Chains A and B, each alone.
Chain A
Amino acid sequence: MIFLQLLINALSLGSFYALVAFGFALIFGVTHAFNLAHGELILLGGYLAYFLVKYWQLPFIWTLPVCMLGLTMAAVLLQKLLQQVQPPYELNTLVVTFGLALVLQNVMLILFSANYRLIPSVELPFELTKFALNITEAQVMDIVVSLVATISLHLLLRKTFLGKALRATIQNREAAKLVGIHVRRMSLIAFLLGGALIGLAGPLYARTAYLQPAGGTEPTLIAIVITIFAGVGRTRGILLGGWVLGVAESLSVYLLGSGWRELVSAVLLILLLILQPQGLLPQRARWLG
């Protein structure tokens, strides 16, 4: 049963990582904007949820749609800003968003102070005494929300005309323009969807980790690592990447100790880049086509 408990812990951790990475991976995959302010946007979502829970007594679950809406608007502003960036686009967006991250950190420091905050939990775990398993509400939520996000995103990209247009834009922007796809609009839609996913991750971040104005680097790094694990431009790979990382970290903590988790993750990442540079999923599973 220990193995099963370990697996649940690993999957929930991996799901949490995937949720943190979804918005970054989608925006980067579609627009090639390397958003270093990703973590700060997640924190903004987290702070919004924190204040909604603390001062408006809003049930946690209702903070998710509110934050999705709020961060979608923030993502539109980000898209307008990044529209002004001159080529080389990837490099310049990296520089611009790095500056934006610093600005956001200081704004949050002024608005929310340097105090640490989190959304407290009072729920006791679901105890499956027959199997000697403990599953917490946060673990269930991380797993369920990440699965729903993955499936929704996958269906949108694979089964709708909009999804086809987005995928075409990713494959070849010039060709997409020639067949009449409004590439700029696709970019805006990618930011809208990415913003909603960031808004989804924010409250769960505040519920799982903690909020502090300088804490944006951690989720940004998680998002970058998971995107590399998944392979750029893949949605199912993001959840799989999160799970692989979660399992690797949990196993290393269990077998070797807490001090080994980063080293094991780093070795895994290097091995993956050498042996499977296109990401975890085989080439045919890419939603790029």
Chain B
Amino acid sequence: MAAQRSKAISSLANRPLWTCLAVLIVLTPILWRGPMPWLPTAAAGGAIRIGEVDPLTGKLANHGQEIHEGILYAVNEVNAQGGLAGLKVELISRDDQSQPEVAINQTEDLLYREKVLGLVGGYVDSLVGPVSELAAKHRTPYVASASLQSRLTQGRDNAYFFRVAHLKGIVEPLCRFVVEVLQPRRVSILYANTPGSTELGAEVRACLEKANIEVPIFEKFRSGLPDFSTFLLKLRQARVDTLISGGFFADHLVLVRQLKEQNVPLRAYLGPWGIAYPEFIETMGAASEGLLGMCAWNPDITLPGTEVESRNFVERFAAAFGKTPNTTNMHGYVSAKALLLAIAAVLKSGHELTGENIAKELRTVNLVTPMEHLAFDENGDPQHYRQTVVQIQKGRLVAIYPPDRASAGFMAPSGP
């Protein structure tokens, strides 16, 4: 009898239905996206847990790692000062591999399993956008380090999304510089197939045409192209004197090299992203001389009144990471600092440490950093973010616009 019962149970256990049920029971806590009280909370174990999603590998790893270093520096700085209200800050970093679908998976892991209190990081809008959606759904504040696209903040009613940069802070000084200083006759705009670059291209074109500057070439390209020779041929034919390229670091490397190789006569080459880096100058050597870029901060270009803080940041960062920080490091640092400041404010107020309360405190953040005076508007955009136009002069980045930040004037190329 007992043998028969055992056989029956064994037969039942072999059925696919039972197997499926068993798997479902095991997976339920993982699939369940609601609150899981039995899992450790974000402040459990005497630590404040914040999450970071950045492209640490893949095509954007270069800048992703720079943002990560800035965030890590901010966290270490707070912990070195005793943490937040005596609680240590724990940074949980995740790699999105420069792919939006991986960014979504990693964010879900941080929100639902790790139960972080807030999110920070992100590079380019195609990666930041999905993370911001998930964070809002989970009512977790997210301070993006490098995001520009207007659509992410305008008319979205996302009370949990904040960012330390925006497109207006690039387009406005860029346009004013081109119109007031360069005064070109014919401009070509080349923009990458990313949301931020596409928007930048359209806004700069509108601004230049408003100032009666001709834009005979306005083209999109796929970031990562190995060849621009035909585009440069068109540039030569159209007798363009200024090229504004919305590509990234690697695109400038290839484009500038081919520009020099083909001896294209340009009065100015301006790349809002990717040029204003010491690594760019090092890689391109003499070919980088005279190129124009933009940055929000640099060891030599800091918000007036923050010189000492900037110098301290450079020295301590260099001691920690063995290299001089750049503008992307600073974006990571400022975004993490804003989130940590808001968490500290909630702890100080004695309120419960929830996403709602942290987001509420983020709206009142008033933080002066070497990069910007950070205060968010009702959409989560920074109110005072403004980049500086820089030129590579004698192998160094020199601020040339706006006049209140400039340390030198624009130098036109001496030859073609």
Interface residues of A (CB under 8 A from B): 2, 5-6, 9-10, 12-13, 16, 105-106, 109, 114-118, 120-125, 127, 134, 136-139, 208-210, 212-215, 218, 249-250, 253-254, 257-259, 261-262
Say how far A267's CB is from chain B's closest CB, in angstroms: 16
Q: Is the CB of B61 within 8 A of A218?
A: no
Interface centre among B57, B229, B234, B249 (most CB of A within 10 A): B229
Is A12 a contact partner of B219 (Cβ separation < 8 A)?
A: no
Q: Which residues of A contact B249 (CB under 8 A)?
A: 116
- The 8 Å CB contact of A257, one of B59, B220, B279, is B220
- Beyond A139-B229, A259-B220, 6 additional contacts (C-beta under 8 Å) are A114-B61, A122-B287, A125-B263, A134-B262, A209-B226, A218-B224
Cβ-defined contact, A254 with B233, below 8 A: yes
> In the complex, what residue of chain A is closest to B220 when comparing beta carbons?
A259
Main secondary structure of the interface of B (DSSP, over half): helix
Residues of chain A within 8 A of B225, CB atoms compared: 258, 261
**Contact, CB under 8 Å: B229 / A118:** no
Residues of A within 8 A of B263 (CB): 124-125, 127, 134
Closest to A211 in B: B250
Q: Nearest Cβ distance between residue A56 and chain B, in whole angstroms?
A: 17
Interface residues of B, Cβ cutoff 8 Å to A: 57-59, 61-62, 64-65, 98, 190, 193, 219-222, 224-227, 229-231, 233-234, 237, 249-250, 253-254, 257-258, 260-263, 279, 283-287
B261–A136 touching, CB < 8 Å: yes
A204 vs chain B, min Cβ distance (A): 11
**B65 partner residues in chain A, CB cutoff 8 A:** 114
Would you give the shortest CB distance from A226 to chain B, in whole angstroms? Answer: 14
Tell whether, in the assembled complex, residue A6 and residue B233 are in contact, meaning their CB atoms are under 8 Å apart: yes
Asked if A2 meets B237 with Cβ closer than 8 Å, knowing A122-B287, A213-B61, A259-B193, the reply is yes
Shortest distance from the beta carbon of B273 to any chain A beta carbon, whole Å: 13
Contact A125 B230 (CB under 8 A): no
**B62:A212 contact, CB within 8 angstroms:** yes
| A208 partner residues in chain B, CB cutoff 8 A | 226-227
Contact check, B219 vs A257: say whether CB atoms are below 8 A apart. yes
Q: Is the CB of A210 within 8 A of B287?
A: no
Which residues of A have CB within 8 Å of B231?
253, 258
Q: Do residues B58 and A214 form an inter-chain contact, with CB atoms below 8 A?
A: yes
Q: In the complex, what's the smallest C-beta–C-beta distance from B231 to chain A, in angstroms?
A: 6
Decide if B229 touches A121 in the complex (CB within 8 Å).
no
Contact assessment for A210 and B250 in the assembled complex, using a CB-CB cutoff below 8 Å: yes
The docked-state distance in angstroms from the alpha carbon of A3 to that of B42 is: 65
